[in-house]
Amino acid sequence: MSDGHISLRLVQAEDYAFDVDFGDGVAALRVDEPPPLGQGAGPSPVQLLAAAVGNCLSASLLFALRKFKQQPEPIRTEVTAEVGRNADGRLRVLGMQVTLTLGVPAAQLQHLDRVLGGFEAYCTVTQSVAGAIPVTVSVRDADGEVLK
């Protein structure tokens, strides 16, 4: 990702459903609030935030491993966002737990300790939201061994 500005446009389709136009030939995306406000016709804002964090961490880990010519594919990522009430009684994302699972056993990857020690620092989205929302990250290999 380069420095600069990102622009997109949302247009109301109906009720709480909006179509997101990302421009530049990227497919549009329908977003919606879950019932009872919306119909759940697309991902909610919280789901989009969780997806952005998970995608950014996945891409950062993949990039860091590929710098060392490693092939960890396929990487799977699970994100759980805890939603609850803040001190003012308003719904907020209180925290996120992210588990990245490599597609191969750790023994097949070189420089893994170095990668695991630094890949999170390069995740633009996670580092941007982590000041307001705690994000816990763990990494496992294909055998289920916890690496981080």
Distance CA(60)–CA(143), nearest Å, equals: 21
Distance CA(20)–CA(52), nearest Å, equals: 15
Task: Look at residue 130 in the predicted model and tell me its pLDDT.
Answer: 94
How far, in Å, are 32, 61, 90, 94, 123 from residue 55 at the CA level? 20, 10, 27, 19, 9
pTM: 0.93
Domain boundaries, the chain: 1-43, 45-140
pLDDT at 82 exceeding the cut of 90:
yes
pLDDT at 34 exceeding the cut of 90:
yes
Kindly state which CATH superfamily the domain 45-140 is placed in.
K homology (KH) domain (3.30.300.20)
User: Quick one: average pLDDT of 12-39?
Assistant: 94
SS3 at position 61: helix
Tens digit of each residue's pLDDT (9 = 90 or more) over 102-147: 999 999 999 999 999 999 999 999 999 999 999 999 999 999 999 9
pLDDT band at 3 (very low <50, low <70, confident <90, very high): confident
